[in-house]
Structure 1
Amino acid sequence: MSTSELSITKRRLLGGIAIAAVGLALTACSDAEDKAASAEPNPAVSNETTASTTSAQIPTADRDVDMEEALKPGPLKEMALGDPNAPVKVIEYMSMTCPHCAHFHENTFEAIKTKYVDTGKVYFVLREFPFPQDTASLAAFMLARCTTEDKYFPFVSMFLKQQRTWAAPSDGDVRNAMLQLSKMGGFTQETFDACLTNAQLAGDVSAVRDRGAQEFGVQSTPTFLINGKAYSGDMSVDSMSALFDSML
């Protein structure tokens, strides 16, 4: 997509009319990944090796990152769970239309939250990473940001669990599907429209993504920055637990 085409897409989104024009297929979890491959979560996305002392699999880090710099807040208030002083610090960059992200949050996140976040061992930060051409993911994140802070994570979870119903509805009306789901999260037609026409918010959410890509090398979702290492791809409860346990 050219710069001029992207600018037009953003203006349409901010005018409240672009969401209905989003394609029927889910956006891939990377710019290079074929859209057809994103129809179902692919366990092979995670780069994992078997730990020598346990049967659980520990993900292999892609690269080192400056965790101190990464933990500095960006243009939006940090959406985080747990103790900021916890020994393990995690930043997840995710897309609301990525099936791998949905798979992680449906199958891994709650167990990890209970086992590590709620017990003070892990500080978990969630950051938005809607790909530049993905107006649906951008809009979903904007709606999550328009809720109250205590509703942010439940709203994101609701949208991920119902990902196909709004990102690829049978009638192709993405905007209406998002509206109906948002009403379950407390929105009205008026607050829904007001949120999606907030140009400042759209720019700030996009800036979170741009910072992740430019400063920390995020290219696909989900990407986890954990104690100075970057890991790309979905993780199981066992593999993430093994990784965390190796750091505690």
Structure 2
Amino acid sequence: MKSATIAVAFAAALAATSAVSANTNWVTTVETAGGGHNIGNPAAKVKLTEFVSYTCPHCGTFARESSNPMEVYVATGKVRVDIRHVVRDPVDLTAAMLANCGPAIKFYRNHTALMNSQPRWLAAARSATSAQKSRWSNGPGSARRRAIASDLKLYDVMATRGYERIAIDRCLSDEALARRLAEQTASDDAKWNITSTPSFALDGLLLAGTSDWQTLRAQIDARM
């Protein structure tokens, strides 16, 4: 093949590859094999790991501040984010199970809906009565989680995502998921020594002194 022909063929192949990349919706590209939710281009230059707890107010603030710009980073294909749960209490577990309700592609929007509404339902959790807390701590796990979801109006949050009550109850009754989330927390604690949330790792390195979006954003930009 002549050199000019080779050059033309190479240019055509490159253009085709670029077109595929441009048409890929990285925000809806999700892998769960590692235990968390890896969202974005597997070949992204920057790999971000988030360790979050749904009952952590700072995690909620971070999620609300970073949601839109993070989607832009992921959409470029240059950043991949792995969101990992740090489950610390029954309310945390209930929210995490709701975030995981349905196929993996729904996770990020579920996560965002729960974090956006966190100030309201977390305030309700803090002002819970003794009777409510008793319902949250006694009886079968599924019944406890349904009580939490009802008292904190998390059913309403999930309804905005298109979930019917029967589907939500099915997710809250998934004991295998509950065990998996607890095991993931224990495994990450052992591997990463997570002492506070939110915590972050960039390209496999746990970041010290980083707990807000502006500080993290500067470190992401430095790696782009």
- In structure 1, the gaps of 5 or more residues are 1-70
Alpha-carbon distance, 1:117 to partner: 1.7
Does 2:196 match 1:220? Answer: yes
In structure 2, C-alpha distance between the alignment counterparts of 1:79 and 1:72, rounded to whole Å: 5
State percent identity of aligned pairs.
26
Does 2:57 match 1:99? Answer: yes
Does 2:74 match 1:117? Answer: yes
In structure 2, C-alpha distance between the alignment counterparts of 1:236 and 1:127, rounded to whole Å: 17
Answer whether contact 1:108 1:235 (CA < 8 A) is retained: no
Higher relative CO (Cα under 8 Å, sequence separation at least 6) belongs to 1
Does 2:213 match 1:236? Answer: yes
In structure 2, C-alpha distance between the alignment counterparts of 1:184 and 1:94, rounded to whole Å: 22
**1:242–1:196 CA distance, 2 compared to 1 (3 A):** same
Name the Cα RMSD after superposition: 2.3
SS in 2 for 1:219: coil
Alpha-carbon distance, 1:73 to partner: 4.1
SS in 2 for 1:246: helix
Which letter maps to 1:191? Answer: A
Alpha-carbon distance, 1:188 to partner: 2.3
Alpha-carbon distance, 1:205 to partner: 0.9
In structure 1, C-alpha distance between the alignment counterparts of 2:122 and 2:160, rounded to whole Å: 16
Cross-structure match for 2:23: none
Which letter maps to 1:106? Answer: R
SS in 2 for 1:89: strand
**1:72–1:161 CA distance, 2 compared to 1 (3 A):** closer
Does 2:97 match 1:142? Answer: yes
In structure 2, C-alpha distance between the alignment counterparts of 1:228 and 1:181, rounded to whole Å: 33
- In structure 2, the gaps of 5 or more residues are 1-30, 133-147
Cross-structure match for 1:11: none
Q: Deviations over 1:199-221 (max 9, x none)?
A: 11100011111111011111211
Alpha-carbon distance, 1:72 to partner: 9.7
Answer whether contact 1:81 1:117 (CA < 8 A) is retained: yes
Using structure 2 for the length normalisation, give the TM-score: 0.69
Answer whether contact 2:50 2:83 (CA < 8 A) is retained: yes
Residue in structure 1 matching 2:87, options 116, 130, 142:
130
Cross-structure match for 1:86: 44
Alpha-carbon distance, 1:128 to partner: 1.0
Using structure 1 for the length normalisation, give the TM-score: 0.63
Alpha-carbon distance, 1:118 to partner: 1.5
In structure 2, C-alpha distance between the alignment counterparts of 1:223 and 1:129, rounded to whole Å: 10
- Residues matched between the structures, number: 172
